[in-house]
Structure 1
């Protein structure tokens, strides 16, 4: 059962991974950004969901033949059918896109089951097809060969590393056009609120800078007048 509050999910959809990265850095967390991944198509709002993980290991040929997919308990197939609606499937593909983490059929199944998004630090086959789906998907690059040639699906919903970031089941995953960041589950509520406040201030600063104002004393707001102006802006904008 999801522990992510609907109001927290809604707030996180409206903030950037850049803002969240700064908020995490303030708490000493420096390595929460999944490195090397990008969305298959531009995004209008952030992807948000709790992590459900799939771990690959280097394939051993005698255990990873094409007929393993006949087994309904195969970890990749099982993960696709068990990833909860609203969650984000995160795959540890060892940062190796030489073979696909999955393809269009499996990702389509995840979309139809109501999954919030899919992330791999490897690649997807059928990338053009996946890019057309109504669900955010992140990878490093397209990759045609089946995952069986290099990757052996070994476990689901366990702690993994994805693009050098630690991902624990239930962590909150946020993705936008800049990439994907991992929020420890216990910090999600406070970071969502803090990032919402930071976003309001940054929108104010952007408006001021576009109007010709210097960043000195404004960003950060070391001049008292900047804070006074921000308070007036918030009242005017209803934020």
Structure 2
């Protein structure tokens, strides 16, 4: 696993992907939300960890064969190199008519303490995958094996997934809104800003619950920002800014 500390990862798990996309937008990084990657389980918890990348390309008949499953360059071998705590991110070019992983590979990933699987493609053996309790963000399920439409190319190299560029060890955060990539060089800056934004928005939400109007509050004008900072210093509960 990369040098991400457990403290930093816990901070990541405390902020939503919606907040992260907003923070990165303000920093000029817009294309961060992985299209087509949705939680397959309604009770998936927010996850955060370094990306372990896998890349599929369109099928070519001499390569996409059942024999390829035993190749040294196969999804099976890739799974065996996944470090504990990583999030497997699989670029499948948005293919939705062949499942990139099934229950056996997902069970092995679970045994290796991989946190989650994120893909712009689909999985197969959905009932079995649910039994593994591996958290999966995908574009659905399909019965055919990956070789019906895809060729596995490699792992731990830059990929495109859901229209987003992802490099090995970029930070992935996924929750009920989908999955987001935070470029590795920006992680500390983004997470610090995201944690602060969540504190501010929680205060704003409490003001709204207490009857405050939106203008001047969201976003905060100078008056409300001073109130926020003062109440934060005092540790007092939010009050309606009458």
TM-score grouping bracket, smaller chain normalisation: over 0.9
Return the offset for 1:135: 3.0
SS in 1 for 2:188: helix
Alpha carbons of structure 1 residues 44 and 139: separation in structure 2 relative to 1, 3 Å: closer
The Cα offsets for residues 130-160 of structure 1, whole Å up to 9 and x where unpaired, read as 2344332110011110001111101110000
SS in 2 for 1:100: coil
Could you tell me whether the CA contact under 8 Å between 1:50 and 1:87 is conserved in 2? yes
TM-score by length of 1: 0.93
* 1:191 and 2:178 are equivalent in the alignment: no
Q: Write the distance in 2 (CA, Å) between the matches of 1:231 and 1:146.
A: 59
Return the offset for 1:230: 5.1
Could you tell me whether the CA contact under 8 Å between 1:204 and 1:230 is conserved in 2? no
- 2:69 is matched with 69
Q: Which runs of 5+ in 1 are unaligned?
A: none
Instruction: Give runs of aligned pairs for residues 43-192 of structure 1, distance below 5 A.
Output: 43=43, 45-71=45-71, 73-192=72-191
Q: Write the distance in 2 (CA, Å) between the matches of 1:225 and 1:55.
A: 48
Q: Write the distance in 1 (CA, Å) between the matches of 2:9 and 2:138.
A: 23
Alpha carbons of structure 1 residues 195 and 132: separation in structure 2 relative to 1, 3 Å: farther
TM-score by length of 2: 0.92
Q: Write the distance in 2 (CA, Å) between the matches of 1:7 and 1:139.
A: 28
The Cα offsets for residues 113-141 of structure 1, whole Å up to 9 and x where unpaired, read as 01111111100001233234433211001
Q: Write the distance in 2 (CA, Å) between the matches of 1:108 and 1:44.
A: 17
Alpha carbons of structure 1 residues 227 and 132: separation in structure 2 relative to 1, 3 Å: farther
Return the offset for 1:225: 3.5
Alpha carbons of structure 1 residues 17 and 214: separation in structure 2 relative to 1, 3 Å: same
Alpha carbons of structure 1 residues 211 and 128: separation in structure 2 relative to 1, 3 Å: farther
Q: Write the distance in 2 (CA, Å) between the matches of 1:138 and 1:149.
A: 21
- 2:240 is matched with none
Instruction: State how many pairs are aligned.
Output: 236
Superposition RMSD in Å: 1.6
Could you tell me whether the CA contact under 8 Å between 1:51 and 1:87 is conserved in 2? yes
